[in-house]
């Protein structure tokens, strides 16, 4: 560092010498049940400070580890430069998980190095508290029962709710779904992945894989009038328990046709849902235009879109709410850019999140620093060890349905509590923060042009 740089830093309360900070290592801890499977990420430096990130729920830690060789020796404060170097290795859905995890950890390191919270580096706050929406999986075929569960969330202070409404609630009732013969079996039996290692076991798993990867227009599934009656009754019963005033978003319709999505949307308009989510794959922009033009229910998508450019056609098509996940978009800065772009189109941003307090805090920093933010997802209200995964945050982190973002550097988290996560490792994982030397020299000629 030259004298001038040193002189300027004399006026900054840094926790390290940021100009000389270098990445020395990257390790993961793969956990399960908080509420799903995710990999916590640590990026280590030559000055003792450690950055925290997280690979998205359901994604492989390999997506992050394969980036290690591209980052060793670099200054983590060069967030955007390093992001542009690795962004070619991200993709939609879970494939964005590695790049995004790294990006989060770089922001945490930059914040810790300079002693500044992430939200401040994004331009400061629009609000002090982040409104949380509480997701509640509908595993019971009764609207009254689901209503009671949602009411319990309201009693905890939540001011915004989400539930499932679709194929799952009616598939076991005859006469509710038009389906090509046998095509519902995969949904009815909810086959588990299983652990067998024979070729027959692997073939069974692949058959399940295929069922879940047929896109909506190709399944041939449609709701019957009886099916629609049942779904309408379901949400009517929920509203009788929770009342008419609290926002209630709807997710997981099942892999049904666009036309069935429109018919369901029209049926439930009178219950004023906050939004209808992922009715069809987000890639079908023109079908999203048809869907939104056919109903007054706000149409929402976005949790599987990598990078800002994936959102632009949907905003132009007229969707009402975007729903990015920081662990797919490419991370903190990309999500802030996506939110600002949506605001230019008059569209609100909710944020999808289904992981540990690390992902949650990253989302919370973006949420306070983005004007059109509406609500942040929380999926772990029933996970009693969720708050204990990290140290240095208020407990419980979600209080009366809101998160207050602390003024501490970076994401605001002190550390991961190893004793807690060690009891919740993914199947087959034998330890946490184990050496990752095998990724130190991973190599390909990365340039995508000549």
Binding mask 199-238 for Mg ion (x = CB under 5 A): ----------------------------------------
8 A C-beta contact, residue 280 and residue 260: no
**CB under 5 A: which stretch of 119-127, 150-158, 244-252, 409-417 binds Mg ion?**
244-252
Omega before 35 within 30 of 0, i.e. cis: yes
DSSP 22: -
Residues 132-151 that bind Mg ion (CB under 5 A): none
**CB under 5 A: which stretch of 52-60, 127-135, 269-277, 333-341 binds Mg ion?**
269-277
CB of 176 to Mg ion, least distance (A): 22
Token pair listed for 304? 């599987």
How many residues bind Mg ion (CB under 5 A)? The answer is 2
Q: Sign (positive/negative) of CA torsion 441, 82, 310, 324? A: positive
Number of other CB atoms surrounding residue 171 within 10 Å: 18
Helix (H, G, I), strand (E, B) or coil at 368: helix
8 A C-beta contact, residue 365 and residue 117: yes
Closer residue to Mg ion, CB minimum distance, 57 or 277:
277
**CB under 5 A: which stretch of 145-153, 250-258, 280-288, 293-301 binds Mg ion?**
250-258
Report the first-to-last Cα separation within the chain, whole angstroms: 36
Which residue number places its CB atom closest to Mg ion? 251
CB of 251 to Mg ion, least distance (A): 4
The single residue among 251, 325, 334, 355 that binds Mg ion, judged by CB under 5 A, is: 251
CB of 309 to Mg ion, least distance (A): 21
Residues 271-290 that bind Mg ion (CB under 5 A): 277
Closer residue to Mg ion, CB minimum distance, 103 or 277:
277
Task: Give the DSSP H/E element, type plus range, for residue 291.
Answer: helix 285-294
CB of 428 to Mg ion, least distance (A): 27
Closer residue to Mg ion, CB minimum distance, 113 or 167:
167
- Cα separation, 128 vs 368, in Å, equals 7
From residue 79, alpha-carbon distances to 72, 147, 264, 266 in Å are 14, 44, 44, 45
- Cα separation, 68 vs 335, in Å, equals 23
Closer residue to Mg ion, CB minimum distance, 251 or 355:
251
8 A C-beta contact, residue 409 and residue 117: yes
**CB under 5 A: which stretch of 84-92, 129-137, 165-173, 247-255 binds Mg ion?**
247-255
From residue 51, alpha-carbon distances to 54, 116, 362, 408, 420 in Å are 10, 14, 12, 14, 19
**CB under 5 A: which stretch of 111-119, 270-278, 388-396, 433-441 binds Mg ion?**
270-278
Closer residue to Mg ion, CB minimum distance, 354 or 413:
354
Q: Sign (positive/negative) of CA torsion 58, 59, 62, 67? A: negative
8 A C-beta contact, residue 18 and residue 11: no
8 A C-beta contact, residue 294 and residue 266: yes
Closer residue to Mg ion, CB minimum distance, 25 or 278:
278
CB of 380 to Mg ion, least distance (A): 15
CB of 254 to Mg ion, least distance (A): 12
CB of 325 to Mg ion, least distance (A): 9
8 A C-beta contact, residue 23 and residue 106: no
Closer residue to Mg ion, CB minimum distance, 16 or 301:
301
- Cα separation, 100 vs 373, in Å, equals 20
CB of 193 to Mg ion, least distance (A): 20
8 A C-beta contact, residue 140 and residue 165: no
Closer residue to Mg ion, CB minimum distance, 251 or 334:
251
- Cα separation, 374 vs 323, in Å, equals 10
CB of 272 to Mg ion, least distance (A): 19
Residues 308-337 that bind Mg ion (CB under 5 A): none
**CB under 5 A: which stretch of 5-13, 249-257, 294-302, 426-434 binds Mg ion?**
249-257
Token pair listed for 149? 């569960």
Any contact of residue 387 with Mg ion (CB under 5 A)? no
CB of 59 to Mg ion, least distance (A): 15
CB of 166 to Mg ion, least distance (A): 11
What is the binding site for Mg ion (CB under 5 A)? Answer: 251, 277
């Amino acid at each position: 560092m030259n004298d001038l740089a040193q002189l300027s830093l004399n006026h900054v309360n840094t926790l390290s010498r940021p100009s000389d900070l270098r990445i020395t290592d990257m390790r993961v801890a793969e956990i399960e049940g908080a509420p799903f499977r995710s990999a916590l990420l640590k990026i280590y430096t030559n000055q003792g400070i450690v950055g925290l990130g997280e690979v998205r729920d359901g994604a492989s830690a390999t997506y992050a580890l394969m980036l290690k060789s591209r980052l060793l020796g670099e200054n983590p404060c060069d967030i955007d430069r390093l992001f542009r170097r690795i962004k070619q290795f991200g993709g939609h859905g879970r494939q964005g998980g590695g790049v995004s995890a790294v990006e989060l950890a770089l922001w945490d390191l930059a914040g810790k190095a300079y002693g500044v919270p992430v939200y401040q580096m994004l331009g400061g706050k629009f609000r002090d508290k982040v409104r949380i929406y509480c997701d509640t999986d509908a595993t019971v075929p009764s609207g009254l029962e689901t209503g009671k569960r949602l009411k319990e969330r309201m009693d905890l202070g939540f001011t915004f709710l989400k539930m499932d409404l679709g194929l799952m609630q009616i598939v076991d009732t005859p006469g509710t779904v038009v389906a090509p013969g046998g095509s519902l079996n995969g949904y009815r039996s909810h086959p588990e992945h299983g652990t067998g290692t024979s070729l027959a076991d692997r073939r069974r798993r692949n058959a399940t894989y295929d069922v879940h990867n047929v896109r909506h227009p190709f399944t041939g599934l449609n709701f019957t009038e009886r099916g629609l009656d049942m779904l309408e009754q379901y949400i009517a019963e929920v509203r009788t328990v929770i009342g008419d005033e609290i926002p209630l978003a709807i997710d997981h319709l099942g892999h049904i046709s666009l036309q069935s999505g429109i018919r369901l949307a029209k049926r439930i308009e009178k219950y004023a849902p906050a939004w209808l989510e992922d009715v069809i794959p987000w890639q079908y922009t023109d079908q999203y235009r048809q869907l939104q033009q056919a109903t007054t229910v706000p149409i929402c998508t976005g949790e599987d879109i990598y990078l800002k450019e994936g959102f632009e056609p949907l905003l132009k098509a007229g969707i009402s709410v975007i729903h990015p996940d920081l662990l797919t978009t490419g991370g903190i800065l990309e999500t802030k850019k996506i939110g600002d772009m949506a605001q230019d189109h008059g569209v609100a941003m909710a944020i999808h999140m289904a992981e540990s307090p690390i992902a949650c805090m990253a989302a919370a920093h973006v949420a306070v620093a983005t004007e059109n933010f509406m609500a942040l997802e929380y999926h772990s209200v029933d996970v009693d060890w969720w708050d204990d995964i990290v140290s240095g945050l208020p407990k419980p982190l979600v209080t009366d349905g809101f998160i207050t973002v602390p003024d501490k550097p970076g994401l605001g988290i002190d550390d991961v509590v190893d004793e807690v996560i060690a009891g919740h490792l993914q199947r087959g994982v034998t330890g946490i923060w184990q050496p990752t030397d095998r990724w130190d020299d991973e190599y390909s000629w990365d340039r995508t042009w000549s």
